[in-house]
Amino acid sequence: MKTKKFGYLFASAVLALTLAACGNDEQSADQLNDGVIKVGVTAGLHEEITEVAAKIAEENGLEVQIEVFSDYVLPNTALVEGDLDVNNFQHGPFLDNFNADRGEDLVAVADTILNPMGFYSESYTSIDDVPESSKMAIPNDPTNGGRALAVLAEAGYITLTDGVGINGTIYDIVENRKNFEFIELEAAQIPTQLGEVAVAAINTNFAMEAGLSPKEDSILLESADSPYINVIVVRPGDEDGEDLKKFIEAYQSDEVRQYIEKTYDGAVIPGF
3 state SS of 100: helix
- Give ∠ CA 156-151-204 in degrees, rounded to 5: 145
136-187 tens-digit pLDDT: 999 999 889 999 999 999 999 999 999 999 999 999 999 999 999 999 999 9
- Kindly provide the b/e burial profile for residues 237-260, where b requires at least 16 CB atoms within 10 angstroms of the residue's own CB: ebeebebbebbbebbbbeebeebb
Mean pLDDT value of segment 230-255 = 97
3 state SS of 38: strand
In whole angstroms, give the CA distance from residue 105 to residue 55.
Answer: 30
Q: In which band, very low, low, confident or very high, does the pLDDT at 265 lie, cut at 50, 70 and 90? A: confident
Domains annotated on the chain, with CATH: 30-115+228-270 (3.40.190.10), 118-221 (3.40.190.10)
Contact call for residues 190 and 120 (beta carbons, < 8 A): no
In whole angstroms, give the CA distance from residue 146 to residue 141.
Answer: 8
Residue 256 has pLDDT above 70, yes or no: yes
